[in-house]
Every structure is written in C-alpha cells, then in structure tokens.
Chains A and B, each alone.
Chain A
Amino acid sequence: MFAYLKDMKNKQPILPAAFKARCSKLLGDENSAFLKCLQRPLRKCIRVNTIKISVSELEKRLPFLDGQFEWYPEGFFINEDKPGKYLEHFLGYYHVQSAMSMVPALILDPKPQDIVLDLTAAPGSKTTQMAQMMENKGAIVANDVRIERLKALKSNIERLGVVNTLVTRVDGRKFRLGGSFDKVLLDAPCSGEGTVRKNWNMLSRWSMEQIRSLSRLQKSLAENALLSLKPGGVMVYSTCTHSPEENEGIVSHLLERFEWLELEGIKVEGIKSREGITQWEGRHFDRRVRDCMRIYPHDNDTEGFFIAKLVRRDV
C-alpha cells in the first residue's frame, strides 16, 4: 500500500502499549484526559519576527490570526493550514513555531549584549527567537551536527534576517569553548512524546532502548553545555518529551555531579504547568528537581514540554 494511503487510514495516533502504561503511571487519574488530548490535532502558531516588523503592523495584515498568547505578545494561534504560502512569510515577517517551543528562550531571557550558545540548534526556531530578543546584537553560536538540518537552520536565519549568529557543526558532546558563554540553551534531541499531536507517527519507533540511549546522549550534551558557561551564567535545558529519564533524571544527575550548580524555579504567568517529579520507577531524584517545569498537552491545549533553568554559581 502507498505510504500516504496508510497515513490516511491511520486516523489514530500511534501509541505503543508500553508508552501508554508508563503514561498511566506518570499521570494517574489524568491519563484519560491526556490520551484524549493526543487525538486532537495541534493548533498551529506563529511568532512575529520583530527584527523585520512590529507585532501591531503584522497583526493588521494577516487574515488568519486566531488569538495572541497571553504570556508572549509575539506569539499567535492561527487558523491556517499552510502559513508558508503567504507573502509575509516570504518577507520573513513571521516564523511558524509551536506554542510551548517559544517558552525555553523566554526562560533563558538572552539580552542584546549576551554571548549565547545554542548547542543543538537546528532548524533554528529558538535560535531565531533568541536573535530577535537580542535585537540582532551580541552573538549566538548555533550548533548542530546534522547537515540536512543545518541547511534548514541557515535558510531560517537568512529569511528572518538574523545577523548575530555564527553557525557551527560540531558534536555537542565535544564542543569545547569552556567558560565563554553568558547563556546556553540545550534543547536536546529527545523521544518527542510531547509532539504526538503534531505528528501521529512520532512514536512509531518509540522504545525503552531508545529512551535509555537518548538519556545517555542528553547527559553528556548537558555536562558539556554546562562547562561552556561563564561563572554566573545560565543554562536552559529543554525537551519536548515526558519521560522522566530524559528530564528530571538528567537534571538530577547534573545537580549531583556539579556542586556549583543551582536550579532556579520557573513560572510563566498564563501557562499551566507542573513541578518536576521526584521519583520514578523506584528511582529517587534530587529533591530540587521540583523546580523544573513540566507541561502536558492537555494543560494548555498545546504540545508537551519540559524546561529546567540551571545557574552556575561558582565565582
């Protein structure tokens, strides 16, 4: 059968049984609300590129805006399936980016003079968001390993008119530029459990083996990312997945390994979120991981996300 016909018949997201069992442990009473939410397609969103146009000007032009984010005036829900076909998109006035994916950069809060590392940057949604927050000043090292994805990163940088970025292709586990960065974003490769609503096939290759291997990768990326921070520097660790092994498990490991590390509590007015969990399948995490931010799809009718804000306290 042709792949697309299969897709059309596949009117349900693929949710492996072992995944569902884990979710039921994670979510308890809320599991059915969670699973029900995954059946609903994701609302699309855009971010206004303030490097090229103001929010109010673009608002007047686009016919498909469907509500401004309460917590970030640059972000809008839209009611258009093909937002890439508009002249304003060609002009780089906006970028299609899902709602919760705009949160990590807000938490990191890069300033115009900052030197920032985006260790796993492609295709650059968060790089370009940080660039506009920095008014196209300062510098961002946007790094990734995959050539195909680096192409997408570069084309986004060009279309959106970002000039403060330096693109590199280095394995993030090996990137060495110790003590140079004010801020670091590690938007880690992950199992993507939070993005099922965007892609119903997302979990077709989901397995515990995959989670374990990603967790090892995330640990070494995160350790390396932390060591690139200046004393006093801030790192945001984020994933679009729910599995504790890839989230609290990583943060807990970092807190235990680096005594100079502090976890800061985060809260965004207008976004419903939960604390990090302190135990999972018999394992106890460092209790401080409660300060992490866990977002489920049914919390805000978006995709799911996990965010932690880490500060290097040694001086």
Chain B
Amino acid sequence: MFEQIESLYGIERKVFKEMCVYMLGKELYVASREACDLANRLRYRNEGVGIMLGRSVMGRFKLTTNAIQLFGRYATKRVVEIDARQAIEFAAGGIIKTECKDEGYVIVRCGSDYLGCGYYRGNGEVESLVPKKRRLILQKDGGD
C-alpha cells in the first residue's frame, strides 16, 4: 500500500517513519507506535487505534479526508488547487468546477489548507468525497 501512496500521491514512506501503519481488513490505519504497542498488550477489544489512512477501491488507493488533512501537505502528485469560495462548497460536499490532469482520486487543497479527498472524472468537475457526517454544515453548532 505504501508503494501506491507514494506512486499515486508522492507521499513518501518516511513521512510515517515514527508511526505505526497497519491493515485492518481492507483498510489502512495510522497510529502512534506506543498506541499500537499498548493495543497489543491490552486485553480489551479496542474500538479503534489511531485514524484510517485509506483503502484500496478497485485497485486504486483512496486516502481519507482525515488523512489528507494531516498528511496532504507531503503530497507532490494528484493535488488540485481550488479557491476560497470553492473550498467551502467542497467542505459542504459539493461539486467543484475545475480542471485537473489526473482522473480518479485527488487531494483537494486551498493554499495551505488540505481539505480532503475528491474524485475527478475528466469532465471539468471534482466531486467532493467528504463523508456526509464529516461535512461542513453552515447552520450547525460545533458542540462542546
């Protein structure tokens, strides 16, 4: 999977050097080393260690929005730049009119803000793949 992350997005393996990267079913996760060690020693079933990096969808590695917000800045390929107004639409789950040379999964950013994962079909539109529950809801409060 590392090979795919590197060849598709240009995110090098050494970015995760200090961390523990592991597979769970078809999904790839990242956590601190100590959290992984502890999970192995713990006799309770855990409900999750670290966060999901991504998974392979029909042979293509798709990074999660959460992973892109953390590690997107290390990417050198498949990065699409959008403007500030579009960033809000993207965060809310919209479709953004923009050109892109790569088809498939892309990393969407606005300046230094790495927003999340998008999909480019080659028709001048990047579709936001931010999960429904994760989207920006303009009227909603942020909780505690």
Q: Which of B30, B31, B39, B133: most chain A Cβ within 10 A? A: B31
Q: Interface residues of B toward A: which range?
A: 35 or more
Instruction: Determine the residue in chain A with the shortest Cβ distance to B142.
Output: A84
Interface stretch (choices A27-35, A151-159, A290-298):
A151-159
User: What chain A residues lie within 8 Å of B48 (beta carbons)?
Assistant: 154, 157, 166-167
Given A98-B144, A163-B31, A166-B50, 4 more A-B residue pairs with CB atoms under 8 Å apart are A87-B88, A87-B113, A115-B38, A137-B34
Q: In the complex, are the beta carbons of A158 and B51 less than 8 A apart?
A: yes
Q: Are B141 and A83 in contact (CB under 8 A)?
A: yes
A-B contacts, 10 of them at CB < 8 A, read A85-B139, A101-B144, A154-B48, A159-B66, A161-B69, A162-B51, A163-B50, A164-B31, A166-B31, A168-B47
| A170, CB-defined interface residue at 8 Å | yes
A115 to B37, CA, bound (A): 11
Residues 16-43 of B contacting A (Cβ, < 8 Å): 18-19, 30-32, 34-35, 37-39, 41-43
Q: How large is the interface on A (under 10, 10 to 19, 20 to 34, 35 or more residues)?
A: 35 or more
Stretch at the interface among A69-77, A89-97, A242-250, A264-272: A89-97
Between B113, B138, B144, the greatest number of chain A beta carbons within 10 A of the residue's beta carbon is seen for: B144
B71-103 interface code vs A (CB 8 A; 1 in, 0 out) = 000000000000000011001000000000000
Given known pairs A96-B143, A97-B144, A161-B51, the reply for A90 and B136 (CB within 8 Å) is: yes
CB neighbours of B63 from chain A (8 A): none
CB <8 Å contact, B42 and A141: yes
Contact partner of B50 among A113, A125, A165, A169, CB < 8 A?
A165
- Interface membership of A209, Cβ < 8 A: no
Give A residues with C-beta under 8 Å from B. Answer: 51-52, 81-87, 89-92, 95-98, 101, 113, 115, 123, 125, 136-141, 150, 152, 154-155, 157-159, 161-170, 175-177, 180
Q: A85-B140, A89-B142 are in contact. Are A165 and B133 (CB under 8 A)?
A: no
Q: How does the 8 Å CB contact mask read for B107-137 relative to A, with 1 for contact and 0 for none?
A: 0000001010000000000000000011111
Contacts A161-B66, A161-B69; is A84 near B141 (CB within 8 Å)? yes
- How far does the Cβ of A124 sit from chain B's closest Cβ, in whole Å? 10
The answer to whether B66 and A158 touch across the interface, beta carbons within 8 angstroms, is yes
Contact B91 A150 (CB under 8 A): no
Q: Is the CB of B136 within 8 A of A157?
A: no
Interface contact A115-B47, CB-CB below 8 Å: no
- Contact yes or no, A139 B46, CB < 8 A: no
Tell me, rounded to whole Å, the shortest Cβ–Cβ distance linking A51 to chain B. Answer: 8
**B binding-site residues for A, Cβ under 8 Å:** 18-19, 30-32, 34-35, 37-39, 41-52, 66, 69-70, 87-88, 91, 113, 115, 133-144
Please determine whether B42 and A87 come into contact, CB atoms closer than 8 angstroms.
no
* Residue in contact with B137 in the complex, picked from A81, A85, A125, A180, CB distance below 8 Å: A85
- A166 vs B38: C-alpha distance when bound (angstroms): 8
Query: Is B144 a contact of A166 with CB atoms below 8 Å?
Result: no
Q: How far is the CB of B84 from chain A (nearest CB, A)?
A: 8
In the complex, which residues of chain B have a beta carbon less than 8 angstroms from the beta carbon of A139?
32, 34-35, 37-38
- Inter-chain CA distance A265–B8, complex, in Å, is 54
Report whether A170 and B51 are in contact in the complex, using a CB–CB cutoff of 8 Å: no
Identify the 5 closest CB pairs spanning chains A and B, nearest first.
A84-B142, A164-B32, A139-B34, A139-B35, A90-B136
Residue from the list B32, B70, B91, B142 in contact with A137, Cβ < 8 A: B32
Once the chains bind, are A84 and B50 in contact (CB under 8 Å)? Answer: no
> What residues of chain A lie closer than 8 Å to B138, measured between beta carbons?
85
CA A97 to CA B142, docked complex, whole Å = 10
Given contacts A115-B38, A136-B32, A163-B32, contact A169 B140 (CB under 8 A): no
Check A91–B142 contact: CB distance below 8 A.
no
